[in-house]
Amino acid sequence: MPSPNASGGSVTASPQLPSVPTALQTLASSTTSSPIQGTASSSGTMPAPVYLIADDHQIWRIESDATTAKQITFEPAPVVSFDISPIDSSIAYVTNNSLYNVDLIGANRALLVQGPTPPDPNSNERINTEMRSVHFSPDGTKIAFGLGGVQIYDINAGQSTMIHASDPYPDINNMPTTPVRFYSPGSFSPDGTYLMILYGNFPEGGGTQIMKLADATVTDVTVPENTMVCCDEGWSPNSQSIYFASPTVGYTAMGLWRADAPNWQATTLIPGETEGGFRMPSNARALNDGNLYYFFSEAHELPNGNPLLAMTRSALDGVTDRAAVRTDTYATTEVLWDPDAKGAVVRYNPDPNNYSPIGPVVWLPADGSPALSLPKEGLALHWGK
């Protein structure tokens, strides 16, 4: 029987796979990740090239053979954020607090937006004077970026517009009596109807909003646990839902949620704490095959450090037909899913007890064949063409 999806339609049940093995529950409390090295898949390639910011703080392109690497940017200052146009594969990126554009091989460099003088990294004011978070619209005509709030750069008009301004940083000697928020953009929905907006509260905490671009209305995403919505939220292919998950307790609760248009009130799909144990999901995405993919483990006791998780598939409810796709486990910090469910590129912590913002990267085929280590460590993973 097909299982119901978020939109009230149906999803064909995925092929039967072995259940998440009991061994993974034991692995969740071990201290090292366990990649299986070898040929990536029967074809020996990834679905497309991957771009990332490497440990030299420049953008690199790794070809689909998962071996050939080429440096794309040669900036005197670090690249802090970038995105790739879905139309012409050009790259928009932030360096030296300004927005630039190059083509897919790094040529034809152009300045799009000149930002202010880079702020003192120790200044509280940097939250409103530092450029960040670059995202192309699905039609490639606009670039969202963060600078004093959420701005949109119109490529055809050659100018940017503030669409959601942050509050000023407060005077600590005259504390505000109303909430203070600082905004930056997340990704556009696949159909371009919505823009995800991330915010930080003063003095701490934060959450996620969804802006309907047609009328600029903004709705807070809320969760039943009344906790902060963060991090790694991802759109469903039909643009009507976002999925987000957390494998640890901290800024957020542990668990997996789906929030649906138009009210964006989330439903708990996998509660993190259950009678007799813990369920630890991360990096959830609904993919084009109609299933939900995420990394997952469960254990009777919480592990020390970040849990080791296995690639997992289920129906869109997060529960039906849940099964491990692979048995190797990783302390995931970033996951780039192939939209057609062929696998994922994963940045992970080799030592789950010590977080590093830049880490090793592997391609994990969803057919269960051996993983393949990519030649550059990095962060900010993007598919190219």
Top CATH class, 12-383: mainly beta
Segment 23-49, tens digit of pLDDT: 333 333 333 333 333 333 445 689 999
Mean pLDDT of 7-35: 34
Residue 241 has pLDDT above 60, yes or no: yes
Residue 65 has pLDDT above 50, yes or no: yes
CB 352 within 8 A of CB 331: yes
Per DSSP, the residues of 154-195 read ETTTTEEEEEEEPPPPPPTTS--SS--EEEEEEEEPTTSSEE
* Of the listed ranges 70-79, 199-208, 223-232, the one predicted with least confidence: 223-232
**Cα–Cα dist 55/125, whole Å:** 27
**Cα–Cα dist 329/33, whole Å:** 6
Residue 209 has pLDDT above 70, yes or no: yes
- Residue at 46: amino acid letter: M
* Of the listed ranges 13-17, 48-52, 93-97, 121-125, the one predicted with least confidence: 13-17
CB 35 within 8 A of CB 43: no
Q: For the chain, how far is it from start to end, CA to CA, in angstroms? A: 37
Residue 147 has pLDDT above 80, yes or no: yes
What tokens were used for 107?
């040529």
CB 286 within 8 A of CB 292: yes
**Cα–Cα dist 56/157, whole Å:** 34
Spatial neighbors of 226 by CB under 8 A, at least 6 apart, are none
Q: What is the DSSP code (8-state) at residue 371? A: B
Q: What is the mean pLDDT of the chain?
A: 87
Mean pLDDT of 60-89: 97
Measured at the CA of 383, the angle between CA 330 and CA 158, to 5 degrees, comes to 135
Report which of residues 32 and 103 the model is more confident about: 103
**Cα–Cα dist 209/198, whole Å:** 6
pLDDT category at 218 given cuts 50, 70, 90 is very high
Q: What is the pLDDT of residue 1?
A: 33
Q: What is the pLDDT of residue 34?
A: 37
Residue 85 has pLDDT above 70, yes or no: yes
Per DSSP, the residues of 74-117 read --SS-EEEEEE-TTT--EEEEETTEEEEE-TTS-S-EEEE--PS
Residue 255 has pLDDT above 50, yes or no: yes
Any idea where the domains of the chain sit in the sequence? Answer: 12-383
Numbers of helices and strands, H then E, in the chain: 2, 31
Residue 183 has pLDDT above 90, yes or no: yes
pLDDT category at 8 given cuts 50, 70, 90 is very low
Segment 258-317, tens digit of pLDDT: 999 999 999 999 999 887 799 999 999 999 999 999 999 999 888 888 899 999 999 999
- Residue at 123: amino acid letter: S
Residue 167 has pLDDT above 70, yes or no: yes
Query: What percentage of the chain has pLDDT greater than the value 70?
Result: 87
Question: By CB neighbour count within 10 A (0-12 exposed, 13-18 middle, 19+ buried), where does 379 fall?
Answer: middle
**Cα–Cα dist 189/239, whole Å:** 5
User: What are residue 217's phi and psi, to 5 degrees?
Assistant: -75, 145
What would you report as the CA-atom Rg of the chain, rounded to the nearest whole angstrom?
21
What tokens were used for 385?
């063409």
